Amino acid sequence: MKNTEPLPSDKVYPYTVRLLTGRDYTVAGIRKKLMLRQVAGQDIDDTILRLQREGWLDDQRFAARFAESARASGRYFGARLRLEMRRRGFDADVVNEILAPLLTGSDENSEVRSAAERRSPGFSFSKANERDKRRMIGFLQRRGFGLSAIVRALRSDE
């Protein structure tokens, strides 16, 4: 069966459980998958409610794990993390609720320095040439740090 073939009503729940055993999805992600399979709207809503009641589908849990993993790996921080979570289908309220304690309890200077150290061990802002400074700043901005925080953290490290 292809992923775009219509899905009969009696196969909707087993299909979604099989999806969720492979990886986490947001409610929006499951809804999109089921719409691609031409499942009726009422069947989608019923299946999503059942999955949530049974604990298979939980946007809060998934958002918390995603945010913690992204920050721990150094992949996303700050505004970029918020953007990536919204892009993946998390509701704005869920994103704000998950990120509020993470962003208020963090030391941005140490996170900038840590990300810079992982990228280039031994990097010294004062000793680097202009090209290397621009590359490091660009790297850190793509991770979600603001320019003023980057410059402040890299200069304070000297």
pLDDT digits (tens, 9 = 90+) for 7-31: 888 889 999 999 999 889 999 999 9
Please check whether residue 33 is in contact with residue 19, taking contact to mean a CB–CB distance below 8 angstroms. yes
Six-digit token string for 145: 């740090």
Task: Give the model's pLDDT for residue 65.
Answer: 92
Question: Does residue 93 or residue 111 have the better pLDDT?
Answer: 93
Whole-number pLDDT of residue 108: 76
Whether the predicted pLDDT of 84 surpasses 60? yes
Task: Kindly give the interhelix angle for 12-22 and 41-53, rounded to the nearest 10 degrees.
Answer: 50
Q: Residue ranges of the domains in the chain?
A: 9-53, 59-104, 108-156
Report the candidate in 90, 53, 54, 52 with the shortest Cα–Cα distance to residue 70. 90
Q: What secondary structure letter does DSSP report for 148?
A: H
Check pLDDT > 90 for residue 113: no
